[in-house]
Amino acid sequence: MKLIELQPVIHRMDVPPLLESVNFLSSVSSYYPNEAKQFSQCLITALTDRGYSLEPTIRLSFCKALIALRARQVITTFDIIQLFFELAKCEDKSLRKFLLGAIVSFIKVLHRKERKNEGKVQCLIFAKLKDSRPVVARMANLVLIEAFRKGFWKEAKTANSIAECVFHDVLRIQLTSIRFFLGSLKQEEGFDGSDSEDEEANKEENSKTVREVMHAFKHAKKTRKKAKTLEKTKRAISKESKSKKESQSKFCNLEAMQMLYDPQTFADRLFGCLQSKKNEKFIVRLLRMALCARIIGIHKLQTLGFYSYLHRYLQPKQQEVTRILLYAAHACHDLVPPDLVQDVVRVIAQNFVTDRNTNEGITVGLNAIREIFVNCPSAATEDLLQDLAEYKVYKNKNVSMAARGLITLFRTVNPKLLHRKDRGRPIEGTNEVATRGKDYGSLSAVDFVPGAEILQEEEDFTNDRSIEDNSDEEWSDVSDLEDEIEQSDEDTTNEDEFETDIDENDSDEEEVNDEESEHSDEEIDEEIRPDDNGKLAKDSKQITKSAKKKLRSEEKKLELETKLQKAKMISESRILTDTDFRKIRSYQIKKQLGMEKSSRKRPNDEVRLEEELEEKIARREEGDGLAKLNDIMHFHKKIRRQTKEERMAEVQKGREDREEYGKPKKKGPHVGRTNRELAKRKDFRMVRQKVRGKNRQRSFRDQQMSLRKYLLRQAGKKV
C-alpha cells in the first residue's frame, strides 16, 4: 500500500499478488479487529487521494474489499456510500455500474436489518441530488429510482425528490426522471407487462432445465456438444435476466404520481417549461407533453392553457401525431370546462374527420374523439355527434366501425344526444343511466340501489319472523324447533328457486298489463263505433294503434316509477347483506338478458363493439384509468384467406436464402455416385479379389512405402 502511495502506476506483474493479498486480508479481517480498521483506512485513503490514477482492476478490487469489510462491520455503511459517490467521478463505466448496484444493495440491507441508519443515508442521497457535479447527481437519481421500484423506499419523500429532478439543469437527469414516471413505450401502446399463467409456467420449466444443465456440466465429462448446450443455457439466462430488468421498468408509476405533494404546481411548472423552451429536441418536448397530460388526467387538474397549446400539433402530417392525440385524451376529464374540450374536438374533426383525408386519418380522428368523450362526456354536442355518426355508412370498414364505436359509447352514456334511429331499443338500464348527472360538474351519485325492489317480500318476511322470535323467546318446545327447521328448509328452497319466482312475477305482471290494455282497447272501440263509413273505419284503426302505443308507454313508465319507489324504500329502511347484493346482481343480469332477447338479429359488428367497450372499461378500472395508443390506432381488418398460389409463393420466398440439405452434387442435377464411392459401400468379400489384383500390380516404390509404414506401426511410432 505504501508502494501505491509513492508510485500509483504499478507493473503488470506486481498486480496479481497485490490483489490476492488484499482479498485475503479483507476475508480474515474479522479475526483481527484493530488491524482491520487500519487496513480499511489505508484502502479509503488510497481511493480518495489516488483513485483517479489507479488502474481499473486495482480500483475495483479495493471497492470489493471495502464491501467485504462492511459486511464484517469494520466500516459503516454511511462512510462507504459517501466514498462510492466520490468515486463516481472516475471515468470508468464498469466501476460506475458496480457502484450503483452496491449502493442499492446497501439500501436493501438497511431496509431489512438497520432501520435506524436508514434516515441518515436517505438524507445523504437527497443532498447528493443537489450536487454541482452532474455525474454524482445522476447516480443519486438512479439510486432513488431503483430503491422506489424495488420497494425499499416507496414513499412520498422519494417520489417528490425524483419529481424535483424533472426540473434539473442537466437534460439527461430530466429525461431519466420523466421516463420513470411515464414507464415504457410498450405499456403506453397497450401491451401488458404481465404474462399469462401458461407463459409463467413455461418460464419456470425453462429455469429448471437451465439449472439442471449447469449442474450436469459441472459433474460430467466435457464434450463439444455439452459445451454448446452450456453456451445456449448461458444465453438463455442472460435473456431471462434482461427481460426481468425490463419488466421492472415497464409499468407506469401510478403510485409515484399519486404521492406528489402539490400536483397542480408541478403541472404548471412543467407546462411552463414546455412553453418557454422552444429550441429543444422534439422527443424531449413529447415526453414533457406526455407527463403533463398524464398528471392532469390522474389528479383532474385545472391547467387550462395546455389544451390550446395542443391545437398547433393536431395536424395529420405532424410527427408522432397519434401520441399527441393520446395525450389530448389523457388530459381531458370531468372537471375541465366543456368549451375547452369542444375546441380540441373541433380541431380534430376539422383536420382529421374530413372526406379529403385518408381512411386511416379519419379512423384515427374518430377514435381520438371517442376516447376524449369517454373521459369528458359533458363536452359532446348534439350537432357534432350526429354529424360524426353519419360516418357509420362510410364505404371503408375501419371508418364505419369507428363511427359505430362512438354511437355505442353514447348509447350507454347519454343516448339523448344521438339521432333517434341510433339510440337503439330502450331498456330499463337506459332509464337508470338517464337519471345520473350528465352536466358539467354534476356528480353521478345514486340515492338507492338499483334492483332492490326484488327484496321487498323478503323484508316483510324477516320482520314477521323477528316479531315471532321476540314473542316466543322465553318458551322453546320441540314443536318450535321443528318449525324453525321447516322454515330454514323453505328458505333454502326459496333461494334455489329464486329465478323461477322472478319468472312467475314477471308473467303475472304481463297478464295484468294485457288485461288493462284489453279494457282500454274496448273503451276506445266503444267511442269510435258510431262512425259507419269506410274512411272512418281506417282512421279508427290508426287511432286505436296509436292509442295502444301511448297506453303501453304510460303503463311502462308507471311500472318503472313504482319499481324505483320500491327500491328507494328498501334501500333506505334496511341494511343489505352480501346475499342480498348477490340476489340483486343476479336479478339485474337476468333483466338485462331478458331485454336483449328480441326477434331481430343483431349484427356481429355491433356485438363486437359492445364487447370491446366493456373490455376497455374493465381495463381502465383496474389500471390508471387512461387510454392506450392501441385504442386510437385500432383498425378492424377484414379477414381474407390466401389462395393456394399465394401460399406457395410465400413458401418459395422463404426458401430463397436457405442452404440446401445434404452434400452438394458435383455436376448436373441428377449425377450419381462413382464406382469408387460405390465400392466403399460394398462388403469386403465382394471386392477382395479386386484388392488382390491391385496389390499384384503395384510398383516397387509403392511396395517399399507400404512396408516402411508397416514397420513403423509395429514399432509403435506415428506414421
| Total length of the chain | 719
Of the spans 497-511, 656-670, 688-702, which averages the highest pLDDT? 688-702
- Rg of the chain on CA atoms, in Å: 41
Residue 530 has pLDDT above 50, yes or no: no
Could you tell me the pLDDT band of residue 295, with boundaries at 50, 70 and 90? Answer: very high
Q: Answer yes or no: is pLDDT of 264 > 90.
A: yes
Q: Is the separation of the CB atoms in 210 and 202 below 8 Å?
A: no
Name every residue whose Cβ is closer than 8 Å to that of residue 307 and which is 6 or more positions away in sequence: 328, 331, 336, 340, 341, 343, 344
Regarding predicted confidence, which is higher, 406 or 10?
A: 406
pLDDT higher for 216 or 80? 80
**C-beta separation of 517 from 555 below 8 A:** yes
Our measurement of the distance from residue 175's CA atom to the centroid of its chain's CA atoms, rounded to an integer in Å, reads: 22
Please compute the mean of the pLDDT values over residues 660-676 and round it to a whole number. 69
Q: How confident is the model at residue 518 (pLDDT cuts 50, 70, 90)?
A: very low
Could you give the count of Cα atoms lying within 13 Å of 60 in the half-sphere of its Cβ?
Answer: 13
The closest of 329, 302, 296 to 314, measured between CA atoms, is 329
Cα(167)–Cα(151) distance, rounded to whole angstroms?
A: 24
Contact 181, 256 (CB under 8 A): yes
Instruction: Give pLDDT, residue 584.
Output: 81
DSSP 391-421: GGG-SSHHHHHHHHHHHHHHHHH-GGGS-GG
CA distances to 106, 285, 297 from 251, in Å = 25, 21, 17
Most confident of the following: 1-5, 21-25, 125-129: 125-129
Average confidence (pLDDT) over 222-240: 75
Give me the helix-helix angle, 93-112 and 77-87, nearest 10°: 160
Q: What is the mean pLDDT of residues 19-30?
A: 84
Higher pLDDT, 230 or 86: 86
Nearest to 580 by CA among 701, 644, 478, 495: 495
CB atoms within 10 A of CB 695: 11
The number of helices, as runs of H, and strands, as runs of E, in the chain is 34, 0
Average pLDDT, the chain: 77
- Mean pLDDT, residues 184-213 taken together: 55
Range of weakest confidence among 238-247, 476-485, 697-706: 476-485
CA 92, CA 96: separation in Å to the nearest integer?
A: 6
DSSP 568-582: HHHHHH----HHHHH
State the DSSP H helix or E strand holding residue 341, giving kind and residue range, or none if neither: helix 338-351
Reported as a single tens digit per residue, the pLDDT across 391-448 is 999 988 889 989 988 998 888 888 889 888 888 766 555 555 444 445 777 766 677 7
Contacts of 168-173 spanning 24+ positions with Cβ under 8 A: 168/137, 168/141, 170/134, 170/137, 170/138, 171/284, 172/134, 172/138, 173/134, 173/137, 173/138, 173/141
pTM of the model: 0.65
123 or 200, greater pLDDT? 123
Main-chain dihedrals φ then ψ at residue 619, nearest 5 degrees? -65, -35
pLDDT digits (tens, 9 = 90+) for 458-494: 445 455 544 444 444 444 444 443 444 344 444 444 4
Q: Which are the contacts of 413, defined by CB distance < 8 A and separation ≥ 6?
A: 373, 377, 433, 438
pLDDT grade for 604, boundaries at 50, 70 and 90: low
307-339: pLDDT as tens digits: 999 999 999 999 999 999 999 999 999 899 999
629 vs 31, 187, 257, 289, CA distance in Å? Answer: 61, 9, 20, 15
- Name the phi and psi angles at 73, rounded to 5: 60, 35
For residue 60, what is its C-alpha cell? Answer: 475495483
Higher pLDDT pick, 631 / 216: 631
